[in-house]
Amino acid sequence: PAMMSFIEDHSKLGFYFNNVACVKIKNVTLAGQRGEEFIFENVRDIDKN
């Protein structure tokens, strides 16, 4: 959007979690993303099975 020209391009990223207390990921497969499958910032508890 024109009003958000300062934001970097975030297309084709994996899942991005920020300011989340708990993330539980089960049976998730990603393909075709650029970089990491999961990006965690300020996440207290992460459970990846």
- Domain ranges (residues) in the chain: 2-48
Indicate yes or no: pTM above 0.75: no
First-to-last C-alpha distance (Å) of the chain: 37
The confidence score (pLDDT) of residue 7 equals 73
Encode burial over 1-11: b for 16+ CB neighbours within 10 A, e otherwise: eeeeeeeeeee
**Which regions in the chain score pLDDT beneath 70?**
1-4
The confidence score (pLDDT) of residue 37 equals 92
The confidence score (pLDDT) of residue 49 equals 78
